[in-house]
A = this chain, B = another copy of it.
């Protein structure tokens, strides 16, 4: 079984890269939303799912953003419980035995024994702001200042969770097989190269 995990900076396009990568390789695809749905269907603590749909003062934020933000707020409330549930769900996904791409949720750490191909996706701040603006276009717009503040908060939460789980630093180049900077690319143009890289790794 081949597992690709994607960790990413907020706004770097890591989720889009993961989705397109899965499409190209014919792998299953899981991100935060899908994992929470699986959790619900598996009868795992529904608070986990509910919390992610709660209003944390970001009701005007595009729906695609809200999941990520909600989870960070929930973690402050009940971090350990969340992590245990996530772990269960992610292990269940892996136990299906099907090739898959998993975005976020520290799947790279939780599934260490499966030796996944670990990707970290980053981008320069200006490129991340651009991407956030594009995603939000036609909806409620946020100021750059507001976006930057959120970006920092979310990445800090991700870093803290990872350190808690693994002891290794979030974004540490040696914790991933490949670190891809999306600043100068369209994600679409990047996908074949990343897919070939992952394939080479699985065949090595």
Hey, which bits of chain A sit against chain B, CB under 8 A?
120, 122-124, 171, 173-174, 176-181, 183-186, 189-190, 192-194, 196-197, 200-201, 204
Instruction: State how many angstroms separate the Cβ of A24 from the closest Cβ of chain B.
Output: 13
- Interface contact A181-B173, CB-CB below 8 Å: yes
- Name the CB-closest residue of B to A118: B181
Most buried by B among A171, A173, A179, A181: A173
Return chain B residues, CB-CB under 8 Å to A193: 196-197, 200-201
A173 to B181, CA, bound (A): 7
Copies in the complex: 2
Return chain B residues, CB-CB under 8 Å to A196: 192-193, 196-197
Query: Can you report 8 A-B residue pairs in the complex whose CB atoms are below 8 A from each other?
Result: A122-B173, A122-B174, A173-B173, A174-B181, A176-B179, A177-B180, A177-B184, A193-B200
Option from B171, B176, B200, B204 in Cβ contact (under 8 Å) with A181: B176
- Interface contact B200-A190, CB-CB below 8 Å: yes
Give the dominant DSSP class at A's interface: mixed
Known: A193-B196, A193-B197, A196-B193. A174 touches B204 (CB 8 A): no
- Interface contact A189-B200, CB-CB below 8 Å: yes
- Name the CB-closest residue of B to A180: B178
Instruction: State how many angstroms separate the Cβ of A127 from the closest Cβ of chain B.
Output: 9
Instruction: State how many angstroms separate the Cβ of A81 from the closest Cβ of chain B.
Output: 32
A185 to B181, CA, bound (A): 21
Instruction: State how many angstroms separate the Cβ of A155 from the closest Cβ of chain B.
Output: 12
* 10 tightest Cβ-Cβ pairs between the two chains A and B: A179-B179, A193-B200, A193-B197, A189-B204, A122-B173, A173-B179, A124-B174, A196-B196, A177-B181, A122-B174
Return chain B residues, CB-CB under 8 Å to A194: 197
Option from B123, B174, B185, B201 in Cβ contact (under 8 Å) with A174: B123
